[in-house]
């Protein structure tokens, strides 16, 4: 319990479940984690980063610049390279965008936090997909922001109407979307879906009385292993007024470098930079300099091709192991497969299945964590998010075998043998 003299925010903030899952894995190395969104260890670019660092430090002037403080917005060379890359990916000239519109942060997670901090007061509303990235839900919960959910663009109008009836529309600040290989479902927003959602949102702005921003979280965009890329929402917003685009270099290159970035409309960018100034007045210059060189030399882009092969293989291995027992779709990228139990058996931390899985030595993310609070629908309890990022192929197969064993032993005939929970999960 956080003592009552702590701030309201500290009292609202629970330990994010992801921290508990990550700690558990560290405490029990025997566990196979199909839970955390860690990336593949073998492909981490050790040799490339060594060469980049050596080159960076080979000349004293460049070395000193990289070892000095930078600016709050980030290294201009990196921001410029990221803007070029976006122009290529979206096949758009984005003439109105400049390096000034790009902000570098400590992972995209920091940017998600800063954006929410500068736009939302307690009691404001954020509309999220159902289900969504559960760590973002922790930010909203800690900051006292209310949530509403929608399942697809077809559902969006009805949801906005409902918000209008409840008088919540003037408090609706943004719509948060994970548009590429969504964490947790693996779904990607097609271009027609983006166009439809964009049209609908614009219709409700007058009633809201202020812009309704689209917070497009593209964290997995560079982790595509099949199919064609889709342009970002920025292409629908040539004046750069409504789209807050966030992306990261962590998952596609090295999570340990923890550098993310965003492209933000000027008023939001200025507010985010003021807040970031208070948080840390700039992301580590040295890390940015490494990544700028990786992009400049094509090391980053080449690395993505290697990753695509690795993750395609891992994804298909997981899908094959899950078979028909755990129904699922195969994503075209990202790190996750979303599945459900046969017979709708609950999967939550305190469920029989989770506790037995833990005993059997396998971890997963209970799907219920990915559903925001929304009294207009019950929270489905029988989904699981499985990650194929970190485990090896053998661990993926063994992890699913353990999950199947846990499922068998938690079936109703076993009810009488239900044991004590073996680990206390966060609330």
Ligand X SMILES: Cc1ncc(COP(=O)(O)O)c(C=O)c1O
- Contact assessment for residue 388 and residue 314, using Cβ atoms and an 8 Å cutoff: yes
Length of the chain: 427
Across-strand partners of 161?
none
**Shortest-Cβ-distance residue relative to ligand X:** 107
- 263 has which bridge partners? 102, 245
Tokens of 420: 């004590």
- Rounded least distance, CB 143 to ligand X, Å: 16
Q: Does 183 participate in binding ligand X (rule CB under 6 A)?
A: yes
Q: Is 245 near ligand X (CB under 6 A)? A: no
Assigned token pair, 165: 């009836």
Q: Is position 368 an interface residue for ligand X (rule: CB under 6 A)?
A: no
> Which of 252, 260, 346, 399 touches ligand X by CB under 6 A?
260
Terminal C-alpha separation, the chain: 12
Residue 363 makes contact with ligand X by CB under 6 A: no
Give the whole-angstrom CA distance, residue 79 versus residue 84.
9
* Closer by beta carbon to ligand X, 133 or else 388: 133
The least distance separating ligand X from the CB of residue 250, rounded to whole angstroms, comes to 3
217 binds ligand X (CB under 6 A): yes
**Identified binder of ligand X from the candidate list 17, 70, 107, 333, rule CB under 6 A:** 107
Please say which residue, 218 or 358, places its beta carbon nearer to ligand X: 218
Piece of the chain touching ligand X by CB under 6 A; list 103-111, 160-168, 223-231, 320-328:
103-111
Contact with ligand X (CB under 6 A) among 39, 72, 108, 339: 108
Q: Rounded to the nearest 5°, which phi and psi values hold at 37?
A: -85, 40
181 is a contact residue toward ligand X (CB under 6 A)? no
CA torsion angle 126 131 132 133 (round to 10)? 130
d(CA 223, CA 311): 8
Per DSSP, the residues of 130-158 read SS--HHHHHHHHHTT-EEEEESSHHHHHH
8-state DSSP, 224? B
Question: Are 132 and 232 spatial neighbours (Cβ–Cβ below 8 Å)?
Answer: no
**Binding to ligand X in span 126-165, by CB under 6 A:** 133
Closer to ligand X by Cβ: residue 258 or 352 = 258
Q: Tell me the site size for ligand X, rule CB under 6 A.
A: 13
Work out how close the CB of 255 gets to ligand X at its nearest, in angstroms, rounded to a whole number. 6
- Site mask for ligand X (CB under 6 A), range 8-47, x = bound: -----------------------------x----------
Q: Which stretch binds ligand X (CB under 6 A): 102-110, 119-127, 300-308, 410-418?
A: 102-110
Distances (CA, A) of 204 to 128, 166, 168, 176, 210: 16, 14, 12, 16, 10
Residues 386-425 that bind ligand X (CB under 6 A): none
Nearer to ligand X, 133 or 371 (CB): 133
Cα–Cα nearest to 130, from 176, 181, 191, 193: 176
Residue 53 CB, nearest distance to ligand X (Å)? 20
- As a whole number of angstroms, the distance between CA 388 and CA 336 comes to 6
**Token pair 């529309």 in the structure block, residue:** 169
Residue (248 or 339) nearer to ligand X, CB: 248
Q: Taking the complex as a whole, how short is the minimal distance between the CB of residue 219 and ligand X, in angstroms?
A: 4
By CB under 6 A, name the one of 126, 169, 178, 369 that touches ligand X: 178
* Contact flag: residue 109 with ligand X (CB under 6 A): yes
At 105, give phi and psi (nearest 5°).
Answer: -135, 175
Instruction: Determine which helix (DSSP H) or strand (DSSP E) holds 383, and give its type and residue range.
Output: strand 383-387
Shortest CB 40 distance to ligand X, Å: 14
State the residues that interact with ligand X by CB under 6 A.
37, 107-109, 133, 178, 183, 217, 219, 248, 250, 255, 260
């Amino acid at each position: 319990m956080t003592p009552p003299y702590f701030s309201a925010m500290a009292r609202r903030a629970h330990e994010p479940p992801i921290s508990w899952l990550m700690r558990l894995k560290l405490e029990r190395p025997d566990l196979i984690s199909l839970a955390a969104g860690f990336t593949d260890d073998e492909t981490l670019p050790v040799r490339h980063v060594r060469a980049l660092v050596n080159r960076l430090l080979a000349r004293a002037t460049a070395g000193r610049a990289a070892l000095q403080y930078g600016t709050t917005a980030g290294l201009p060379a990196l921001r410029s390279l990221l803007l070029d890359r976006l122009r290529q990916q979206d096949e758009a000239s984005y003439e109105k965008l400049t390096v000034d519109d790009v902000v570098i942060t400590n992972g995209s997670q920091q940017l998600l936090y800063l954006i929410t901090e500068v736009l939302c007061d307690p009691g404001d509303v954020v509309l999220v997909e159902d289900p969504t990235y559960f760590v973002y839900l922790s930010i909203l919960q800690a900051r006292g922001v209310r949530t509403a959910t929608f399942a697809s663009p077809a559902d969006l109008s009805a949801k906005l109407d409902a918000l209008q009836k409840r008088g919540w529309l003037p408090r609706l600040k943004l719509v948060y979307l994970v548009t590429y290989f969504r964490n947790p479902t693996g779904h990607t927003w097609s271009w027609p879906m983006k166009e439809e959602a964009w049209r609908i949102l614009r219709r409700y702005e007058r009633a809201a009385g202020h812009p309704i921003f689209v917070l497009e979280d593209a964290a997995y965009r560079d982790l595509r292993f099949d199919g064609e890329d889709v342009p970002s929402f920025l292409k629908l917003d040539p004046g750069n007024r409504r789209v807050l685009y966030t992306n990261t270099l962590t998952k596609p290159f090295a999570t340990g470098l923890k550098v993310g970035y965003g492209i933000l409309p000027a008023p939001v960018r200025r507010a985010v930079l003021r807040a970031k100034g208070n948080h840390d007045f700039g992301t580590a210059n040295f890390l940015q300099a490494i990544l700028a060189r990786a992009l400049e030399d094509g090391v980053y882009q080449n690395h993505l091709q290697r990753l695509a092969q690795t993750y395609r293989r891992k994804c298909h291995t997981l899908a094959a192991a899950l078979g028909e027992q755990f129904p699922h779709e195969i994503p075209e990228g990202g790190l996750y497969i979303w599945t459900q139990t046969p017979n709708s058996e609950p999967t939550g931390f305190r469920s029989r299945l989770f506790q037995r899985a833990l005993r059997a030595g396998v971890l997963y993310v209970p799907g219920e964590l990915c559903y925001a609070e929304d009294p207009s629908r019950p929270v489905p309890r029988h989904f699981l998010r499985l990650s194929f990022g970190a485990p090896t192929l053998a661990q993926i197969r063994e992890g699913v075998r353990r999950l199947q064993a846990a499922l068998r032993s938690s079936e109703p005939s076993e009810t009488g043998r239900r044991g004590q929970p073996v680990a206390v999960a966060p609330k």
